[in-house]
Amino acid sequence: MRGEYNSLHGGKLSVQNLRLHLESTRGKQVSEKLFDQISWIIIHSLKAIAPVIATDRHCFECYGYDIIIDNNLKPWLIEVGVINNTVLFLFLCNIFVKMCKDLW
């Protein structure tokens, strides 16, 4: 993995590439255990805030999880970021405008 580090992106991998790397270096069982632990973190963090999550069926929120994995392959929750529907809508509108410009 050292060869994949660069000054722009650091040592970040996509989830798919992380899984492939772990399966090839540590085995499938170890990889599955790590991703099960990450799923557990996400599910239980959402359960913890369930009483205060907006339940309006006309809006939504997206959550971004920052998780660090230590040398023993233990995941640690760093923070959870919330993107409300207004911010996401503006972001998607910007992408849509760029896509339309590319078509013309």
Report the C-alpha gap between 40 and 67 in whole angstroms. Answer: 12
HSE-CB for 14 with a 13 A CA cutoff: 3
Report the C-alpha gap between 59 and 28 in whole angstroms. Answer: 38
What's the pLDDT score for residue 91?
A: 73
Choice between 85 and 19, residue whose per-residue pLDDT is larger: 19
Report the C-alpha gap between 45 and 52 in whole angstroms. Answer: 12
8 φ/ψ angles, rounded to the nearest 5 degrees: -80, -45
| Confidence grade of residue 34 (pLDDT, cut at 50, 70, 90) | very high
**Strands annotated E in 1-104:** 61-69, 75-84
Cβ atoms 81, 64 nearer than 8 A? yes
Cβ atoms 61, 83 nearer than 8 A? yes
Dump pLDDT digits (tens) for 50-69: 887 777 676 667 788 899 99
What's the pLDDT score for residue 98?
A: 76
